[in-house]
């Protein structure tokens, strides 16, 4: 047995011991766990593991914090706004703890890997009993055990041991759309970004573990699987086996079954032509490329330490669009990076017009303690940044509306995902465009063919069409 297997086996033993302890703490009934997730899909995937471990401890899971005996907030540190939401929502838990003194409140995730934040939480919220960072997640049962048996408050930030822990139990939130982490951490150190500091060094799961998990998801009926990593294109570094992301993606796509395969995030500096060629040739790999550009100015990109130029980005985007005619490119963009000039901002707008993104995740720059950009001069006022953001959104809306109008009358295969509102369902095309259909909820989780009947700005409506789906 390896050292890591031993650690996980110990965790099972803690979970076993916790079954009785938590049962009694809950007043001789099955204890209830509640997990709230902030941030990116990486955190969603981590929360699915925390939920899996809670179940191992004998807990049922709830969506209602008021019913819970254990509350866990899995936090995000990427922007100040994300952190403020956590602080606000933790404040609101005070009343619940007062009503139920045995309630265990735990905070984990990226925010907790920053010492100043973990300390602030510990000092400002005395009813928080457990604080742990991203490097300690696999020891969650042990931490809960220590917190409830010692009766003391516990802070465990963990250390980045560079290891990948396989075999943690998972409770998946969905039954047909799921996330599959293929790597953890990030080594890129973009100058604005906190992720490398809170998630540690980049490490890849071995291909066998990924293939096994993907296979079991397909077996369980998953129809839409997204491979996750901060920079999936650098997958494989440091593994014994010589491999890369395109090779892994190909192997996953060769699993038998009718499912769609997605991946995110791609870093433009590492996005290979081999990967794009594979997307073009494989019917299971969705024609959707999430390729964050962050800024259209090579000067800003340099100061962001992104290690590509505007020209290089446009070259990849053009190659991909040519190879894959119905490709959707989506992206992340930051407005108001320290010292961004009007001219540099206009370069961002012109890049948006040139690439014609399907959709954009747009962010106003938020300084993060400990990152190089937080020390850069930033003469622009918030008003200037907000005005630039408004202009950017308008530019993107025009592009999205044009694309949507061009889809009317065509038929697409979609996966029906969720109820949008009474009588209306949201369905998604393989290239990541949402279509509303008026159909009963029974269709959720199935593939259908839909003809687009109407485009209102960037909202599409459609109806089921005949034929094989
Ligand atoms: N690994 C991914 C992104 C992870 S964070 C990548 O490299 O693209 C998600 C997005 O948040 C980033 O793409 C960036 O656009 C944004 N972001 C990160 N740090 C930020 C900050 N300090 N201020 C504003 N936006 C930020
Ligand atoms: Fe952050 Fe850059 Fe790493 Fe993405 S690649 S997580 S933006 S440091
Ligand atoms: Fe946030 Fe951590 Fe993801 S900082 S964006 S939850 S990796």
Share of the chain above pLDDT 90, in %: 95
Q: How far is CA 264 from CA 110, 286, 376, in A?
A: 19, 12, 29
From 79, 133, 195, 197, give the residue whose CB has the most ligand 3 atoms within 8 Å, as the site to mutate.
Answer: 195
**How many angstroms does the Cα of residue 286 sit away from the middle of ligand 2?**
23
Substitution site in 76, 189, 334 for ligand 3 pocket (most atoms within 8 Å of beta carbon)? 76
Using a pLDDT cut of 70, give the percent of the chain over it. Answer: 99
* CA 42 to ligand 1 center in whole angstroms: 13
What are the CA-CA distances from residue 152 to residues 146, 196, 393, 398 (Å)?
8, 31, 49, 56
Residues of the chain with CATH 3.30.750.200: 287-405
pLDDT in tens, 129-158: 999 999 999 999 999 999 999 989 999 987
pLDDT tier at 178 (50, 70, 90 boundaries)? very high
| Ligand that comes closest to the CA of residue 334 | 1
pLDDT value at 97 more than 70: yes
CA distances (Å), 407 to each of 19, 410, 411, 450, 460, in order?
54, 6, 8, 11, 9
Task: Tell me how far apart the alpha carbons of residues 11 and 32 are, in angstroms, rounded to a whole number.
Answer: 19
User: What CATH number matches the domain at 186-266+280-285, 3.40.50.300, 3.30.300.130, 3.30.750.210, 3.50.50.60?
Assistant: 3.30.750.210
Tell me the pLDDT band of 467, cut-offs 50, 70 and 90.
Answer: low
Residue minimizing CA distance to atom 5 of ligand 1: 78
Range(s) of the chain covered by CATH 3.30.750.210: 186-266+280-285
Atom of ligand 3 nearest to the CA of 40: 3
Q: Which fold has domain 411-464?
A: OB fold (Dihydrolipoamide Acetyltransferase, E2P) (2.40.50)
Cα of 114 vs centre of ligand 2, distance in Å, is 17
pLDDT tier, 267 (very low <50, low <70, confident <90, very high otherwise): very high
What pLDDT sits at residue 213? 98
Q: Look over the chain and give the mean of its residue pLDDT values, rounded to a whole number.
A: 96
Q: What is the pLDDT of residues 369-405, one digit of tens each?
A: 999 999 999 999 999 999 999 999 999 999 999 999 9
C-alpha 90/C-alpha 70 separation (Å) is 14
Q: How far is the CA of 268 from the centre of ligand 3 (A)?
A: 19
Which three-class secondary structure state does DSSP give residue 31? Answer: coil
Q: What is the pTM of this model?
A: 0.96
Q: Mind listing the pLDDT tens digit for each residue in 436-452?
A: 999 999 999 999 999 99
CATH number of 287-405: 3.30.750.200
Ligand sitting nearest the alpha carbon of 196: 2
Whether pLDDT at 469 is above 80: no
- Atom nearest to 74 CA in ligand 3: 6
Q: What is the mean pLDDT of residues 250-262?
A: 98
Considering the segment(s) 3-156 as one domain, its CATH architecture is 3-Layer(aba) Sandwich (3.40)
Cβ atoms of residues 54 and 33 within 8 Å? yes
Exposure string over 145-158, b if 16+ CB within 10 A, otherwise e: bebbeeeeebbbeb
Intervals of CATH 2.40.50.140 along the chain = 411-464
pLDDT (0 to 100) of residue 459: 85
| Count of residues in the chain | 469
| Spatial separation of the C-alpha atoms in residues 285 and 151, rounded to whole Å | 50
pLDDT band (50, 70, 90) for residue 466: confident
Distance 39 CA to ligand 3 centre (A): 5
Regarding the beta carbon of 43 and ligand 3, being less than 6 Å apart is answered: yes
Atom of ligand 3 nearest to the CA of 110: 2
CA diameter of the chain: 66
Indicate the pairing of strand 411-421 with strand 359-364.
unpaired
How many other β-carbons are positioned within 10 Å of the β-carbon of residue 267? 20
pLDDT at site 151: 87
Q: Which ligand is nearest to the CA of 192?
A: 1
- Asked whether the predicted pLDDT for residue 468 surpasses 80, the reply is no
363 C-beta neighbours (distance < 10 Å), count: 17
Given a cut of 70, whether residue 311 has pLDDT beyond it is yes
What is the rounded distance in angstroms from the CA atom of residue 468 to the CA atom of residue 335?
Answer: 44
Instruction: Please give the number of the atom of ligand 3 that sits closest to the Cα of 82.
Output: 1
Q: Report how far ligand 1's centroid is from the alpha carbon of 106 (Å).
A: 26
| 275 Cα–ligand 3 center, Å | 25
Which ligand is located closest to the Cα atom of residue 117? 3
The 10s digit of each residue's pLDDT in 45-91 is: 999 999 999 999 999 999 999 999 999 999 999 999 999 999 999 99
How many angstroms separate the alpha carbon of residue 193 from the centre of ligand 1?
6
Pocket of ligand 1 (CB under 6 A): 78-79, 192-193, 195, 230-231, 265, 267, 292, 294, 332, 334, 363, 365-366, 368
**Tens digits of residue pLDDT in 27-38:** 999 999 999 999
Backbone angles phi, psi at 118, to 5 degrees: -60, -40
Considering the chain, tell me which residue range(s) the CATH 3.40.50.12160 domain(s) occupy. Answer: 3-156
User: Which ligand 1 atom sits nearest the alpha carbon of residue 373?
Assistant: 22
- What is the CB neighbour count within 10 angstroms for residue 440? 9
């Amino acid at each position: 047995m390896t050292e890591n297997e031993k650690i996980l086996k110990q965790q099972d033993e803690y979970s076993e011991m916790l079954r009785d302890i938590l049962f009694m703490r809950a007043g001789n009934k099955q204890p209830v766990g509640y997990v709230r997730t902030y941030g990116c899909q990486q955190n969603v995937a981590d929360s699915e593991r925390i939920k899996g471990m809670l179940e191992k401890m004998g807990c049922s899971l709830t969506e209602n914090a008021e019913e819970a005996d254990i509350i866990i907030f899995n936090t995000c540190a990427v922007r100040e706004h994300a952190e403020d939401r956590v602080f606000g929502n933790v404040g609101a838990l005070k009343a619940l703890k007062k009503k139920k003194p045995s309630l265990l409140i735990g905070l984990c995730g990226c925010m907790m890997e920053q010492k100043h934040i973990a300390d602030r939480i510990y000092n400002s919220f005395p009813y928080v009993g457990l604080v742990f960072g991203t490097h300690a997640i696999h020891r969650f049962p042990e931490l809960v055990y220590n917190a409830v048996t010692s009766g003391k408050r516990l802070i465990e930030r963990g250390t980045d041991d560079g290891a990948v822990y396989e075999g943690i139990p998972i409770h998946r939130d969905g039954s047909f759309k799921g996330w599959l982490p293929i790597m953890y951490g990030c080594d890129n150190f973009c100058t604005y970004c906190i992720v490398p500091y809170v998630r540690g060094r980049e490490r890849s799961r071995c291909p066998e573990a990924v293939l096994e998990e993907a296979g079991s998801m397909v077996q369980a009926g998953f129809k839409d699987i997204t491979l996750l990593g901060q920079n999936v294109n650098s997958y494989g570094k440091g593994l014994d086996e010589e491999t890369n992301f395109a090779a892994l993606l190909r192997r996953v796509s060769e699993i038998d079954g009718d499912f769609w395969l997605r991946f995110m995030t791609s870093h433009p500096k590492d996005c290979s032509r081999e990967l794009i060629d594979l997307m073009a040739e494989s019917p299971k790999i969705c024609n959707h490329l999430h390729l964050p550009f962050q800024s259209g100015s090579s000067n800003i990109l340099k100061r962001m330490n992104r290690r590509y130029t505007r020209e290089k980005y446009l070259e990849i985007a053009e190659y991909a669009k040519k190879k894959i005619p119905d490709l959707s490119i989506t992206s992340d963009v930051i407005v108001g990076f320290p010292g961004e000039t009007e001219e540099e901002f206009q370069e961002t707008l012109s890049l948006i017009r040139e690439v014609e993104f399907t959709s954009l995740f747009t962010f106003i720059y938020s300084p993060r303690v400990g990152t190089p950009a937080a020390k850069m001069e930033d003469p622009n006022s918030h008003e200037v940044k907000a005005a630039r953001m408004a202009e950017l959104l308008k530019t993107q809306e025009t592009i999205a509306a044009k694309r949507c109008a061009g889809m009317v009358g065509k038929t697409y295969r979609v996966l029906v995902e969720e109820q949008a509102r009474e009588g209306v369902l949201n369905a998604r095309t393989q290239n990541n465009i949402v279509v509303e259909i008026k159909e009963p909820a029974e269709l959720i989780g199935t593939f259908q063919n839909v003809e687009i009947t109407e485009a209102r700005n960037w909202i599409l409506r459609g109806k089921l069409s005949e034929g094989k789906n």
